[in-house]
């Protein structure tokens, strides 16, 4: 059986995915919330957070607390920055605005998709949307600015 050589694009995709998974693996709250990277592309990340009764904000409704949704979206945005072709070594949130559109459906996982749509030398700009099982009805939308940590120039 002959193996097809890995293309540069495949190698880059594998590298982005590995880096995004390492990025969220280093964040304690991402591990505690069981966040999983489900897709990574150039400047794009998708992360899923399973439903967990510990995260319910209102026991009467069973709705996930907005803070858990916020953590998911913030983490996903950071992963999108790390996955950008002009990738940063690291990133931190400068500003994140989240608009909650509706309560997440109790018992359903929440998925966030983020895109880093513009990057300067020191700031990355990101948009994200969070969904449950109904992708036509977002749970929340976000826009944010994130730091871009670059390698130090050898002096």
Q: Tell me the pLDDT tens digit for each residue of 5-46.
A: 445 567 777 777 777 778 878 888 899 999 999 999 999 999
Helix, strand and coil percent figures for the chain, each rounded to 5: 30, 35, 35
Q: What is the mean pLDDT of residues 114-124?
A: 95
Q: Render pLDDT for 48-68 as a digit per residue (tens, 0 to 9).
A: 999 999 999 889 999 999 999
The vertex-107 CA angle with 105 and 108, nearest 5°, equals 65
Mean pLDDT lowest among 43-52, 85-94, 114-123 = 85-94
State which of 41-45, 79-83, 126-130 shows the largest mean pLDDT. 126-130
Domain positions in the chain: 8-147
Determine the pLDDT at residue 154.
63
Q: In this structure, which topology does domain 8-147 adopt according to CATH?
A: Thiol Ester Dehydrase; Chain A (3.10.129)
Alpha-carbon dihedral angle through residues 144, 146, 80, 134, given to the nearest 10 degrees: -20
């Amino acid at each position: 059986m002959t193996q097809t050589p890995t293309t540069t694009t495949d190698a880059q995709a594998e590298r982005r995915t590995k880096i995004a998974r390492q990025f969220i693996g280093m964040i304690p709250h991402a591990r505690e919330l069981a966040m999983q990277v489900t897709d990574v592309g150039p400047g794009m990340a998708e992360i899923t957070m399973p439903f967990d009764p510990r995260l319910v904000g209102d026991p009467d409704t069973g709705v996930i607390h907005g803070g858990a949704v916020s953590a998911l979206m913030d983490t996903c945005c950071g992963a999108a920055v790390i996955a950008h072709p002009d990738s940063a070594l690291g990133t931190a949130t400068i500003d994140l605005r989240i608009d909650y559109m509706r309560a997440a459906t109790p018992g359903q996982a929440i998925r966030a998709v983020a895109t880093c749509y513009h990057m300067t030398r020191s700031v990355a700009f990101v948009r994200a949307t969070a969904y449950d099982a109904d992708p036509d009805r977002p749970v929340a939308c976000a826009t944010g600015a994130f730091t871009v940590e670059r390698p130090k120039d050898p002096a």
